[in-house]
Amino acid sequence: MTNERVIHGVVGSVGFAVGRAVRTFDPLFVSFNLKLRPDRVRKEIDRFRQSVEKSREQLKRMQAELRRASGRESSFLIDAHLLVLEDRLFVDRIIEKIETDSINSEWAIQQVSDDLFQAYDRLDDEYLRERRGDLEDIVRRLRHNLGSTPLPPFKKLPYDAILIGKIIPPSTLFELRAQRVVGLATETGSPLSHTAIMARSLEIPAVMGVAALPEVSSGDLLIVDGDRGVVICSPSEETQAEYKSRDRGRRIKKRAGASASAPSVTEDGASVSLGANINFSEEVRSAIACGCESIGLYRTEFDFFREGRQPDEESLVADYSLVLKTAKGAPVTFRTIDVGIDQKGWDGVNPNLGVRGLRFCLENAHVFKKQLRSLYRASVNGRMRILLPFVSTVDDLDAACEIIMDVRRELDLKRQRYDPRVPVGVMIETPAAAQTCDLMASRVDFFCLGTNDLIQYYLVIDRSDQSVVHLYNPFHPAILRCLHQVYALLGPTGKSVTVCGEMAADPPSAAVLLGLGFTSLSVNLGAYARIKRMIRSVSMKQLRELAGEILKMQKPKEVEDKVRATVYRS
């Protein structure tokens, strides 16, 4: 008999996984359970004690400084921190855990603090509940002083892990992807957050917005069901058996899907270009193996900040060259780094309306130039396209083009080889770019449409805000009109447009894109097979008629019903 419990969230990435919960306490510190050899236990306890001692010294220094600066009054909080370091409920229990379970300090701290956090969360007194922040602070300090590095120095986890946490930044997920991370669940976030996008491209099942997640502790057995959007805590034997049998069925299906590399042509013979979106250079190989004709979007920021700091130019050139060579002549669209989104902070300022994408690049020209130099130097190894993200004015675009010319002149001077015909494009993802893409057309070679951001800005919906995420709707007449307008503005310019947002990855909304005239799509690898199936099952003529009809409709629901009825007519 188990106490199986089902807690609800929203689907972040499909599929399911069974594993042990690992709480990512701090974006930078994820601890794992390491089993120590018996002779290592004493040393580990010493290591922990040293970290306590070091923390105590730091706090004492801080307290002295605070006293000097603002008198006795404000230093009492440090008193509380210092007392936690002497608390037997905390320190002694951690030492006991290390000893009895022969585990590493990080994991012992995690388990003891998890219990305490849960106890805090159960308190009725809101003021006291908030005090868990003090404990978090202490834990962070201890971890830091243990010298925990963001990446554990070992290759394999001893068990399948499901990452849980309030927020799991995409960078953390990415850093841990080679470990045995089989699933993920977050308290906040939505299917459109970058963490979810990353989970999908890594094919890691994910459930987002699980409000009841704090009840789960590190070490608990969990099932993350990304198909239903639920997390099952302490699943019973029967439930586990049920999932295991589904596992077998799914693998077989997956193999069948991958072999279907038929051309992407509609029933009535219209051909559609279908590319793949990737976040990591390693994905190129599987994209090409799946029969993708192009890499329609390579989000370079994840690889760029891979080690948590900026790479040097030589390693970037090597990476980008490898990507192009692995693509075997298929065009690869490199989107220059788009930071400022949820990779960065969550300090209350909405980064979506701030310095991100091209704005960031223009403000940090040295970073931008380094990437562009690396791209151009790698360009001789295949078919490269360079895409500029988050463009909102022709001025920004001109400034970016000027920097590109600078970089090329520099390379000319150094007599370094590059492909001078590398097409440069603009990502249409702000309403400003959607309205003025025709003005940008003479300056660039191609366009991409980022529907995720476009929809979020058009409909004024923060993609990470649970209270409005249900309003995010690609079938909103405002979006249809916007897309129709972009098509009309760009038609006369003859410049190509590829749609690479989530809208292209969902069969009904992708069908709308086709009907509106967008015949180049690029999707996550996970969606590739299903979009190809959709393309091969529809008639372009019918989709054009459908587009004409839905453009006259007034409500998102009407549009959606009509589209679904057409796409799934059989």
Which residue lies nearer to another protein by CB, 113 or 281? Answer: 113
Region from 117-125, 279-287, 438-446, 482-490 binding another protein, contact rule CB under 8 A: 117-125
Q: Which of residues 25-84 bind another protein (CB under 8 A)?
A: 76-77, 79-80, 83-84
What does DSSP assign to residue 514? Answer: H
Which of 194, 361, 448, 482 is labelled catalytic?
194
Interacting residues with another protein between 77 and 116 (CB under 8 A): 77, 79-80, 83-84, 87-90, 116
Q: What are phi and psi of 93, to 5 degrees?
A: -70, -35
Nearest residue (CB) to another protein, 78 versus 433: 78
Beta-bridged to residue 278, according to DSSP, are 298
How would you label 497-507 residue by residue, b for 16+ Cβ within 10 Å and e otherwise?
A: bbbbbbbbbbb
Which residue lies nearer to another protein by CB, 143 or 476? 143
Nearer to another protein, 135 or 181 (CB): 135
Residue 124 contacts another protein per CB under 8 A: yes
Q: How far apart are CA 56 and CA 60, in angstroms?
A: 6
Which one of residues 120, 304, 320, 376 is an interface residue with another protein (CB under 8 A)? 120
Distances, alpha carbon 402 to alpha carbons 379, 393, 397, in Å = 19, 14, 9
Least spacing, CB of residue 489 vs another protein, in Å? 60
Task: Establish if 127 lies at the interface with another protein (CB under 8 A).
Answer: yes
The angle formed by the CA atoms of residues 391, 396 and 397, to the nearest 5 degrees, is 70
- Least distance from another protein to the Cβ atom of residue 82, Å: 9
Q: Is 292 a catalytic residue?
A: no
Q: Does 128 bind another protein (CB under 8 A)?
A: yes
Report how many residues bind another protein under the rule CB under 8 A: 21
Tokens standing for residue 150? 């963001």
Place of tokens 């580990």: 44
Which member of 233, 448, 482, 500 is catalytic?
500
Q: Decide if residue 151 touches another protein (CB under 8 A).
A: no
Tabulate helix, strand, coil % of the chain (nearest 5): 50, 15, 35
Query: What is the DSSP secondary structure assignment for residue 464, as one 8-state letter?
Result: T
From the list 85, 98, 108, the residue with the least C-alpha distance to 42 is: 98
Residue 399: CB atoms within 10 Å: 15
Which one, 119 or 353, has the nearer CB to another protein?
119
Length of the chain: 570
Shortest reach from residue 121's CB to another protein, in Å: 11
Could you say which DSSP state residue 272 is in?
-
Comparing CB distances to another protein, the nearer of 128 and 262 is: 128
Residue from 11, 18, 22, 135 in contact with another protein (CB under 8 A): 135
- Residue 307 has phi, psi (to 5 degrees) of -90, 15
C-alpha–C-alpha distance, residues 409 and 204, integer Å:
43
Minimum CB–partner distance for residue 218 and another protein (Å): 18
Cβ 233 to another protein, closest distance in Å? 23
SS3 448: strand
Q: Does 500 participate in catalysis according to the annotation?
A: yes
Catalytic residues, by residue number, are 194, 500
Residue numbers at the binding site for another protein (CB under 8 A): 76-77, 79-80, 83-84, 87-90, 116, 119-120, 123-125, 127-128, 131, 134-135
